[in-house]
């Protein structure tokens, strides 16, 4: 779309801004509640309920990733996990009528403040270079340079991403390292910039557990619980990710197994660094403007 055709005051961008304002408040309030001994499940459900109280809806389940975990960790039904002296990443999303905002912050209870600072400063450096015409590979170079300067590694197989209508991850990808062939950002692009820093090798792999799912395709199933779950998924979550604990049907785990077996939903396994290493994360959502960018989640 030509720059002159983009109306940054249109309803869709106002909804992105509204989602971002709600999300910034919820991120701050949620981070303040994280302390040793606090419950993962209570924190996640409090944040999701707070989003609804403020007029938004969760764009995905609150991610609470601990130590080597980088993404896709959310409490299970009746989860009894509590926080210890750990590095905790909170990744939270809000949508208004499918227009999204996405943000993350590290709460360090582990005694490694420089690792948390590395991802935070990498995000600041990335935001400074964003403008129409910038190559995403150049954004990645800024992220990599800052994290390297702290003596850590960027997580290279996780990226920032575009935010579409009812789509949490769309093009363009925003790498966390320099790449030779990126994508050029344009006025009106809505993207999430999210550096990850680690004292590990810089590549995450899938773990064995998954509590987050999303709709893969339309389909039909005979099982009653699976049918009930599918009806809720298609009407309430559409294509956005949801948690097992959000399903109102009896035996939601069994319902999801049936839906997954029929390729109607797909799972998001927890992504991890190697055991013994830590991951920090900082993320903002931005709108590319004619002279730079507007951070919707600050």
For 259-277, how does the pLDDT look when each residue is reduced to its tens digit (9 = 90+)?
999 999 999 999 999 999 9
283 is catalytic: yes
Which two tokens mark 34? 């994280």
Question: What average pLDDT does range 203-209 have in this prediction?
Answer: 95
Note the pLDDT of residue 114. Answer: 98
Note the pLDDT of residue 91. Answer: 98
If we measure between CA atoms, which residue out of 89, 235, 93 comes closest to residue 161? 93
Q: 231 labelled as ligand-binding?
A: no
> What topology does CATH give the domain 212-267?
Arc Repressor Mutant, subunit A (1.10.10)
Question: What average pLDDT does range 224-244 have in this prediction?
Answer: 97
231 is catalytic: no
Query: β-strands 292-295, 153-154: how paired?
Result: unpaired
Judge if 3-207+273-295 and 212-267 fold alike in CATH terms: no
Instruction: For the domain covering 3-207+273-295, report its CATH number.
Output: 3.90.230.10
Note the pLDDT of residue 181. Answer: 87
Q: Given a cut of 50, is residue 99 above it in pLDDT?
A: yes
284 is catalytic: no
Given phi > 0 = left and psi -120 to 50 = alpha, else beta, which region is 72? left
Q: Given a cut of 70, is residue 4 above it in pLDDT?
A: no
Note the pLDDT of residue 1. Answer: 41
Q: Given a cut of 90, is residue 130 above it in pLDDT?
A: yes
Q: 95 labelled as ligand-binding?
A: no
Domain boundaries, the chain: 3-207+273-295, 212-267
Distance CA 52, CA 94 (A): 9
79 is catalytic: no
């Amino acid at each position: 779309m030509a720059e002159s055709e983009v109306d940054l005051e249109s309803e869709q961008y106002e909804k992105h801004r509204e989602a971002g304002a709600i999300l910034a408040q919820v991120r701050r309030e949620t981070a303040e509640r994280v302390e040793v001994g606090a419950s993962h499940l209570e924190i996640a459900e409090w944040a999701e309920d707070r989003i609804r109280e403020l007029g938004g809806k969760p764009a995905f389940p609150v991610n609470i990733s601990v130590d080597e975990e980088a993404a896709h960790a959310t409490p299970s039904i009746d989860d009894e996990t509590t926080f210890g002296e750990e590095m905790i990443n909170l990744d939270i999303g809000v949508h208004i009528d499918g227009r999204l905002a996405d943000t993350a912050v590290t709460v360090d209870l582990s005694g490694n403040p420089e690792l948390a600072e590395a991802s935070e400063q990498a995000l600041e450096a990335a935001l400074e270079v964003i403008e129409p015409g910038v190559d995403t590979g150049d954004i990645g170079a800024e992220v990599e340079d800052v994290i390297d300067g702290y003596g850590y590694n960027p997580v290279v197989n996780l990226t920032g991403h575009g935010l579409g209508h009812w789509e949490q991850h769309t093009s363009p990808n925003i790498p966390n390292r320099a790449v030779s062939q990126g994508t050029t950002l344009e006025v009106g692009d809505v993207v999430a910039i999210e550096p990850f820093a680690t004292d590990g090798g810089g590549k995450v792999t899938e773990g064995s557990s998954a509590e987050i799912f999303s709709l893969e395709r339309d389909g039909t199933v005979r099982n009653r619980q699976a049918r009930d779950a599918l009806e809720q998924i298609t009407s309430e979550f559409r294509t956005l990710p949801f948690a097992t604990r959000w399903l109102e049907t009896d035996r939601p785990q069994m319902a999801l197994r049936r839906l997954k077996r029929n390729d109607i939903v797909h799972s998001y396994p927890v992504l991890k660094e190697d055991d013994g290493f830590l991951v920090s994360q900082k993320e903002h959502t931005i709108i590319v403007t004619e002279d730079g960018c507007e951070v919707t989640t600050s």
